[in-house]
Amino acid sequence: DLTNPDFAKWAESFGAFGAVVERTEDFAPAFDAALKAGRISLIEIRLDPEVISTTTTLSRIRAAGLAKQPRA
């Protein structure tokens, strides 16, 4: 299985500030820390791949598209 690297750690290995955000409420503190770091910064935002926006999911979009297809 392939997995993504820890991009925040990777950024840190080059001297940048790195942070990982997994919840919306954690973004503001990470952003503030990045601003205070005074150097190039990377904030990795890890989201559920199913959630495409705040109002829908990929499953809902897929279901709506399938419902519009003509039946054979």
CA 38 – CA 22 distance, rounded (Å): 23
CA 22 – CA 44 distance, rounded (Å): 8
30 in a structural domain: yes
2 in a structural domain: no
What SS3 class is residue 69?
coil
1 in a structural domain: no
Residue reference for tokens 């392939």: 2
| pLDDT tens per residue across span 5-64 | 999 999 999 999 999 999 989 999 999 999 999 999 999 999 887 877 778 888 888 899
Q: Domain span at residue 32? A: 7-68
**CB under 8 Å to 5, separation ≥6 — which residues?**
none
Closest by CA position to 39, among listed 21, 22, 14: 14
Report pTM.
0.67
37 in a structural domain: yes
State how many domains the chain has.
1
